[in-house]
Amino acid sequence: MNPPPTSFARRRELAWLLCAAAAGIAGCASVATPSAPPPGSPPPAPADAPPAAATPLAIERRWLQQWFDGTPVRIEQDADGALTVAVPREFCFDAGRSAVKPALAAVLDKVAESLRRVAQAKLVLVAAPPDGDAASPLALQRAAAVRRHLMTRGVLASRIAAPAAAEGAAVRLRVDLPGG
């Protein structure tokens, strides 16, 4: 039996969930202005950005960053152009469990939406951490749960890499454009 989470950990998780919910509600309640892109479309590239920066994954990086700005979720574009999403373990799974927590589910839902928007993109890495530093079967079970969640959101299995154990203490997703 797992010990109950500390009140500090539960408060921190609740605060993060409230922030994520508020961001989602704010996004749903906003009124489009004439210069705003239609809902579901990528945000326009800044006028001063060089044309090379407007790759599909760069656009998706900015779109995802808008959703998760101010949260512990890290969205980065690597030097090779691939997009990496990292979510700290404490927001992903309960200790000893592989069920996806609501905070991770919210991130995965946006990643699935992004993958639907860029049809040629593939998840070349789906990795989840174990509870400790050592690799364990739990890490693979967690990564498989992440993969299943994405598939229930309409991402084809052929576009998602096999589950892997993550190095570090975060769920890591890596999105790439084959041949791009």
Cα four-point dihedral sign 86, 88, 93, 98:
positive
**Residue 108 one-letter amino acid:** L
Q: Across 28-32, 49-53, 138-142, which has the greatest mean pLDDT?
A: 138-142
**Residue 56 one-letter amino acid:** P
Residue 105, C-beta contacts closer than 8 angstroms, at least 6 positions apart: 149
Q: Please tell me the pTM assigned to this model.
A: 0.68
Q: Dmax over Cα atoms in the chain, in whole Å?
A: 56
- Per-residue pLDDT band for 46 (boundaries 50, 70, 90) equals low
d(CA 83, CA 55): 11
Question: Which of 86, 76, 112 is closest to 173 using CA atoms?
Answer: 86
Residue 53 pLDDT > 80: no
Kindly report the average pLDDT of the chain as a whole number.
79
Neighbours of 44 (CB within 10 A): 13
Please give the span between the terminal C-alpha atoms of the chain, in angstroms, as a whole number: 48
pLDDT tens readout for residues 96-108? 999 999 999 999 9
What pLDDT is recorded for position 178? 78
- CATH class for the region spanning 7-34+51-176: alpha beta
Mean pLDDT, residues 103-115: 95
